[in-house]
Structure 1
Amino acid sequence: MPQLLIELFSEEIPARMQGAAARDLERMASERLKAAGLTWDALTTYAGPRRLTLVVEGLPVATPDREEEVKGPRTSAPEQALEGFLRKTGLTKEQLTDRDGVWFAVVASQGVQTTAVVPEMVDQIVRGFPWPKSMRWGSGTLRWVRPLKRIVALFDGAVVPFDIDGIPSSDMTEGHRFMGSGQPFAVRDFADYRARLEQEFVLLDAADRRLRILEAAKAVCAERGLVLVDDDGLLEEVAGLAEWPTPILGDMDPAFLDLPPEVIRLSMKVHQKYFAVRDPARDGLAPNFVVVANVEASDGGRALAGGNSRVLSARLNDARFFWDEDRKVGFDTWLKKLEGVTFHAKLGTLADRVERIAALAREIAPLLGADPDQAERAARLAKADLASGMVGEFPELQGIMGGYYARDLAAPFPLEGGRVGDGGGGTASPVSPQDSAAGSTDDRVNAADRTQAASTPTQPSPLQGEGSALADAIRDHYKPQGPNDTVPTAPLTVAVALADKLDTLVGFFAIDERPTGSKDPFALRRAALGVIRLLIANGCRLKVSSVVRVHSAHFPRRFGESDLSQAGEEVELLLFFADRLKVLLRDQGQRHDLVDAVFALGDDDLVRIVRRVEALGTFLATDDGTNLLAGYKRASNILRAEEKKGPIPTGMVDLNRLVLPQEQALAASVQRARMDVETAVAAEDFAGAMRALAALRAPVDDFFVGVMVNSDVPEERDNRLKLLGQVRDVMGQVADFGLIAG
């Protein structure tokens, strides 16, 4: 079947917009083709520095004939309404159908050639494309991310003629801006288009560009005995900057290696789009970098490498200035500056926030095995680097720089792990996103793994060396931020990280600034997920409700607020944690309804909740679990039906009135199960509690087979209802089975 090829050729498209543009093009084209009644075999889009491409395989040459039923006015409506409906459909009154007092019309439409659909589709896509930013140029009305130059439109090898704001469709495109022939060339179909572009030094597919960058970068490093430091985010970005990417290895001044490796890598990545390089022989960063050029230079890239080296030296000299100046200032000065920085208009300054975090860290430290004095000290220093020069220049390094500054400056850089880029520093974000309550970035700056002497300051430093554990707590207290971020395990770090996130959550819930829909400007969902991961990964037995209740006292009451409304905020925050826990457990393969069933018990120990959910999920996956759940629901339905008639009997079962063997066996099983479940739950042996419930499966089944609950003898009926109530109560010690689907 025929193939449709569309190319929208323009000036350079920002790399950060290309991935979303390809997805938007796929979505918009699919919607419009479906609306026209067309089907296809495959639809693929490509995005690059200067072009968006759409190829659709297996399109029919024409849309199918269609019949559509259209609902009209009521038969009792005024004559004018009927006349308008007839004009709209092009039918007569005799051709309408009266159904239940409403006019219906069947409108038939004849199929049209696909070539008649394409021009309107492309016009709608171009004029309605959702670029984050767009521009208008010349005297036209068209808006595009950058000036649109050409449109390729081929169907079954022939040009589909149309014009958009003076830009005609054709079969002509262009190759690489510098390495290509410099002349437009015609293409016949997608295979020819892709091959001709490659001959003109253009790799159409972003995956091909990424692979070329990665393989060539590793190769140029290997020639010098070096290893590339992987950075998927940078690789994605650079693949959108060059149509014919050519990695070149450059040299930098080795003297800059006395800077923290995160500073070096961030200077390379953010300002210059360079990859860092490490020396496996020295297990540290090498005085080199990899720059991805968009040309193959005749001198092998020596001139390009030299020029980029000089630019990098200027950037690193700026970083050295901030590094040296910060070490002359110190924490006391920075903490004083935080008194003048507003965290949120309703939550005070950053200094106020530091006081709250310090108080909370001290309170929860003993529960985590951390020293309260150290926890308070670390929390007081954790936000200080927000006022430093280095974090002002590189906001992504908040926390990381605080960890460096808190150490003895005469000591080697404290780096962890076995490879550069593995987990030394925390994920960080600028002051405005993270600690002025405006969300945060997902960029990661990983610490390098090497030990290297720090440069001695030209003047005595006012910083006093802090302990390694305390410095690590400052460095890592923002963790974990993303789903792939590591979770701290050191008790001191966990205490400060929990205090930081809990203060954020309690504070914003107190001022009624909570997520709505997809909007979460203060990253509260991520904060809650961070609390959950910290508690679960470290087995922290923290009563979240107690912490929330106590910490709420640090926030001013709103006018007219009562204790009841404050309690309501506490409940809402706990439900918020339940929602985040559902997300986490769902990603691990657990069912969200099991979280609801366990949360309904009123437990807020997240570690215990997860253990209950895991045991419950395992139990319900068995035949005993499935059948006992069915029995529970049947018992609950009977009890609910009786409750509608009036109060149902409660209290102890009269064993003397149990006349049938099935009810006698169930009563005995319930008694044993009650004791076994209570013992197991008290010991937090939830698997044991499930085994105790499993023993009820056969007696419950037999009871419903052999016993009529609604006996004609009132005493028997009441006794049997009490027995079913006891079954429900025993199972309710483990979870609210009524909230479980199935």
Structure 2
Amino acid sequence: MSDFLLELLSEEIPARMQAGARADLERLFAAQLAEHGLKAETIRTYSTPRRLALIATGLPEATEAVSEESKGPPEGAPDQAIDGFCRKLGISRDDLEVRDVKGRATYFAVVNRPGQKTAQILGPVIAAIIRDFPWPKSMRWGAASASSESLRWVRPLQRIVALLGEEIVPVEVAGVKSGAATLGHRFHHPGEITIGGAHDYADKLKMAKVLVDHEERETIVRDGAMKAATEAGYALVEDEGLVIENAGLTEWPVPLLGRFDPDFLHVPEEVIQKTARADQKYFVMRDGERLAPAFVCTANIDSSDPAAVVAGNERVLAARLSDARFFWENDLKVPLESLSAQLGDIVFHEKLGTVADKVDRVAKLARWLAEEKIVDADPDLVERAARLSKNDLVTGLVGEFGELQGIVGGHLARAQGEPDAVADAVRDHYRPVGQSDHVPTEPVTVAVSLADKLDTLVTFFAVNLKPTGSKDPFALRRASLGVLTLMTDRGLRTSLRNVISHALAVLRLKFLADVDVSDVPIYRDYGDRNYVLKAESGVFRFGYGDKTLLEWPDRTSPSLNIKEFVSATKEAESEIWEFLAERLKVQQREVGIRHDLIAAVFALDQEDDVVRILSRVKALQAFIETGEGADLLAGYKRASNILKKEEGSWSSDKVRADGDVEAAEATLLSALNVAEPRAAAALQAEDFTAAMAALASLRGPIDRFFEDVIVNADDAAVRQRRLALLARFRAAVDQVADFSKIEG
């Protein structure tokens, strides 16, 4: 048995690619070994900024000799088929045997393959891995790059170390030949190091100031940053992603404490963190409730003068923070409210107008959510927050730090005297951004966040810019998950269909405000409300009953076909609802809720309260996963199958237990008479567990019914009565959920 070492030395590998490269190298190497009948006892991969390495232990010296038997074409087959069979196996016709297979003479070949030395296998294996390595981004270099056939690698490949035991495995790729020599640290030990084999690889590199084990470097970075912060009297802001990134940027990590001018702390701390972390890869720390004027940088050199290294990093950070302070102080001088007009110069989308148009829609929708008490918030504060929510897009600080939009606006709003509820909503209205993101809890923020996401969703659907397959350029899946998360997390009780309808109505109004709509006075019936658009005294008014929601001057424009637009947005309403239903299934599946149960509840007429849907689904899942639930489902499916075959052959009149009724029929009828009102009352009270318990009482009677009763009796009247009874049983169950959608 021998150990194998492979090192691929190159120019700097981006830190973000190193973990994937390690996994790919291990996967490809193991697969190639398996193809040749080899298997290592262990495979371990390593990476540094300049190298990707692998150590495989316990490789046999050679593969075992094997005898392989292959069945060929029958005797008398065309010569072309027989010769092709021989070529495939590398044999001649003289090597073929003829055997009887079910009375037919058939050619067979027995090929004895001798064992092959592992070293001979590894050379081509390594070359193939290098040529086909799946880097996310790669490049060609040098004179050879003129040809599209030249090697692609993440950065120019410089050396290959390939040692089986202490012997070099011959490999040559793009003019780079394998050997036993590598390079140490670029500054501490730039000369060659001769590796003896896998056994001394890590130790020899360590002597040359290279820690090849990424996990060891991560520990040094993590512990060193913590130690530096503690010794300075601060609390480190832990950041595992930054630990991994710094370990991927260094071969000999040395954490060092630096400081910056406390005057910079007047800049919002998110800006300081962004500057330190994202731009410079520094750790930050806290001094109680506020950010500390200190950081930890990770040097890639064991300097004889660490103070000089720290000073250089301090100068770089100070320059970046000076820029940030300049933008912040300038932005503070301009009232946030005054920036609204500039949003009209930013195109949101060519079919949906400007950011100013979006803000107007969001403000109207958010206010409506508050007025209707869908979100219990002050409508005036909600509208104020919505109208300020995007204004920081035209500030200098967001121009410099685009990912801090919202956060900057929140700080400006607070500094300029806006109520905390407004400032918080401006700051957090983009949230939640993903499944793991913080979900807003403050009512004003919830209203603005929900309106913003609903507007994004409905507007792009309304103009037929929906996600297709894996493409979702406007992040509508993320917006829909945000809508669902806000509604379920905050327990918002409402008809989601009605909310979608109103969001679409606001969008229609933006278009209708610029056209003559005198021929479309009533264009949508939203459940129990008729939303009416009409002209009165030169003003268009929109609302329902005596309530006016919006109004604007009467003006005309021939640029839009109103009927077509209204028709398209009506279609969008159903599509959006279905899209949200699918997103809810995906979201809940990730937390263990069955998608078929969500479909069963969504199938109910008028069930569009997401909070109630999930409560019902959870109760249904708890019930279905019991023995009683599984048996009731089996009885339901049996009843449904019978009814499908006999559809239309029974009356829907009330089933009576008169005359010559079987005991099992009477028992089921009696059980239905009790269970139906109990389930209905429980559903009315939204006690879905009690509703399931009411259904559970039908399990025994339906089982007995199928055991004792022949449904398709010869007597037509009896058959109709029994079918009607099964139909009533099916309807009783379906009032809780559409059991036909449930798998099993």
Shorter-normalised TM range = 0.7 to 0.9
What is the match of residue 404 of structure 2?
A: 397
Structure 1 range deviating more: 364-373 or 87-96: 87-96
What is the match of residue 163 of structure 1?
A: 172
Letter in 2 for 1:584: Q
What is the match of residue 446 of structure 1?
A: none
The equivalences for 1:231-246 within 5 A come to: 231-246=239-254
What is the match of residue 213 of structure 2?
A: 205
Paired residue secondary structure (2:333):
helix
- Find the aligned partners of 1:112 and 1:705 in 2 and give their Cα distance: 68
Distance 1:717 1:68, change over 3 A: farther
Letter in 2 for 1:595: I
What is the match of residue 10 of structure 1?
A: 10
Distance 1:314 1:691, change over 3 A: same
Paired residue secondary structure (1:194):
helix
Flag the structure with higher strand content. Answer: 2
Letter in 1 for 2:615: R
What is the match of residue 358 of structure 1?
A: 363
What is the match of residue 722 of structure 1?
A: 724
What is the match of residue 287 of structure 2?
A: 279
What is the match of residue 681 of structure 1?
A: 683
- Find the aligned partners of 1:230 and 1:28 in 2 and give their Cα distance: 34
What is the match of residue 227 of structure 1?
A: 235
Identity %: 48
The two structures, once aligned, show a CA RMSD in angstroms of 3.0
Contact 2:161/2:180, CA 8 A, preserved across alignment: yes
Contact 2:30/2:39, CA 8 A, preserved across alignment: no
Cα offset, 1:651, TM superposition:
3.3
1:318 and 2:320 are equivalent in the alignment: no
Cα offset, 1:627, TM superposition:
1.5
What is the match of residue 387 of structure 1?
A: 394
1:294 and 2:300 are equivalent in the alignment: yes
What is the match of residue 475 of structure 2?
A: 523
- Find the aligned partners of 1:605 and 1:100 in 2 and give their Cα distance: 70
Distance 1:24 1:647, change over 3 A: farther
Letter in 1 for 2:46: Y
Distance 1:624 1:351, change over 3 A: same
1:376 paired residue among 383, 391, 416: 383
What is the match of residue 593 of structure 1?
A: 596
Cα offset, 1:87, TM superposition:
4.4
- Find the aligned partners of 2:660 and 2:686 in 1 and give their Cα distance: 34
1:248 paired residue among 247, 256, 260: 256
Letter in 1 for 2:643: L
Contact 1:680/1:686, CA 8 A, preserved across alignment: yes
1:638 and 2:642 are equivalent in the alignment: yes
What is the match of residue 116 of structure 1?
A: 120
Q: Structure 1, residues 611-634: CA drift from partner, whole Å, max 9, x if none? A: 011111111222211211121122
- Find the aligned partners of 2:186 and 2:671 in 1 and give their Cα distance: 82
1:128 paired residue among 132, 135, 138: 132
- Find the aligned partners of 1:619 and 1:332 in 2 and give their Cα distance: 54
Q: Which protein has the larger Cα radius of gyration, Structure 1 or Structure 2?
A: 2
Structure 1 range deviating more: 157-166 or 386-395: 157-166
Contact 2:181/2:192, CA 8 A, preserved across alignment: no
Contact 2:255/2:297, CA 8 A, preserved across alignment: yes
1:349 and 2:301 are equivalent in the alignment: no
- Find the aligned partners of 2:611 and 2:122 in 1 and give their Cα distance: 57
Cα offset, 1:656, TM superposition:
1.2
- Find the aligned partners of 1:387 and 1:687 in 2 and give their Cα distance: 52
Letter in 1 for 2:502: V
Distance 1:481 1:562, change over 3 A: closer
1:550 and 2:557 are equivalent in the alignment: no
Structure 1 range deviating more: 472-481 or 10-19: 10-19
Q: Structure 1, residues 309-344: CA drift from partner, whole Å, max 9, x if none? A: 111111111001100111122334432222121222
Contact 1:400/1:474, CA 8 A, preserved across alignment: yes
1:512 and 2:464 are equivalent in the alignment: yes
- Find the aligned partners of 1:309 and 1:104 in 2 and give their Cα distance: 80
Letter in 1 for 2:480: A
1:137 paired residue among 141, 156, 165: 141
Paired residue secondary structure (2:414):
coil
Paired residue secondary structure (2:248):
coil
1:580 paired residue among 574, 579, 583: 583
Paired residue secondary structure (1:135):
coil
Distance 1:272 1:680, change over 3 A: same
2:735 paired residue among 728, 733, 736: 733
Distance 1:184 1:228, change over 3 A: same
Paired residue secondary structure (2:493):
coil
The equivalences for 1:10-29 within 5 A come to: 10-29=10-29
Contact 2:282/2:296, CA 8 A, preserved across alignment: yes
Contact 1:11/1:50, CA 8 A, preserved across alignment: yes
1:178 paired residue among 154, 168, 187: 187
Q: Which structure 2 residue ranges, 5 or more long, are not aligned? A: 145-149, 512-559
- Find the aligned partners of 2:137 and 2:363 in 1 and give their Cα distance: 42
What is the match of residue 433 of structure 1?
A: none
1:331 and 2:340 are equivalent in the alignment: no
Cα offset, 1:298, TM superposition:
2.1
1:615 and 2:606 are equivalent in the alignment: no
- Find the aligned partners of 2:610 and 2:191 in 1 and give their Cα distance: 64
- Find the aligned partners of 2:439 and 2:692 in 1 and give their Cα distance: 31
Distance 1:668 1:35, change over 3 A: same
Structure 1 range deviating more: 587-596 or 58-67: 58-67
Structure 1 range deviating more: 104-113 or 159-168: 104-113
Contact 2:193/2:204, CA 8 A, preserved across alignment: no
Per the normalisation by structure 2, the TM-score is 0.85
Distance 1:104 1:484, change over 3 A: farther
Cα offset, 1:576, TM superposition:
2.2
What is the match of residue 457 of structure 1?
A: none
Q: Structure 1, residues 398-450: CA drift from partner, whole Å, max 9, x if none? A: 100111111244xxxxxxxxxxxxxxxxxxxxxxxxxxxxxxxxxxxxxxxxx
- Find the aligned partners of 2:350 and 2:166 in 1 and give their Cα distance: 62
Distance 1:393 1:633, change over 3 A: same
Paired residue secondary structure (1:169):
strand
Query: How many pairs align?
Result: 680
Contact 2:4/2:197, CA 8 A, preserved across alignment: no
What is the match of residue 264 of structure 1?
A: 272
- Find the aligned partners of 1:148 and 1:45 in 2 and give their Cα distance: 18
1:704 paired residue among 690, 694, 706: 706
- Find the aligned partners of 2:19 and 2:102 in 1 and give their Cα distance: 50
Letter in 1 for 2:575: E
Contact 1:657/1:719, CA 8 A, preserved across alignment: no
Q: Structure 1, residues 438-481: CA drift from partner, whole Å, max 9, x if none? A: xxxxxxxxxxxxxxxxxxxxxxxxxxx21110110110001111
Cα offset, 1:183, TM superposition:
2.9
Paired residue secondary structure (1:370):
coil
- Find the aligned partners of 2:36 and 2:568 in 1 and give their Cα distance: 54
What is the match of residue 51 of structure 1?
A: 51
Distance 1:107 1:671, change over 3 A: farther
What is the match of residue 345 of structure 2?
A: 340
Structure 1 range deviating more: 489-498 or 2-11: 2-11
Cα offset, 1:17, TM superposition:
1.8
- Find the aligned partners of 2:359 and 2:598 in 1 and give their Cα distance: 34
Letter in 1 for 2:742: I
What is the match of residue 412 of structure 1?
A: none
Letter in 2 for 1:667: L
Contact 1:71/1:102, CA 8 A, preserved across alignment: no
Structure 1 range deviating more: 311-320 or 271-280: 271-280
Contact 2:367/2:382, CA 8 A, preserved across alignment: yes
Cα offset, 1:249, TM superposition:
0.5
Letter in 2 for 1:214: R
Letter in 1 for 2:479: A
Cα offset, 1:133, TM superposition:
2.8
Contact 2:285/2:295, CA 8 A, preserved across alignment: yes
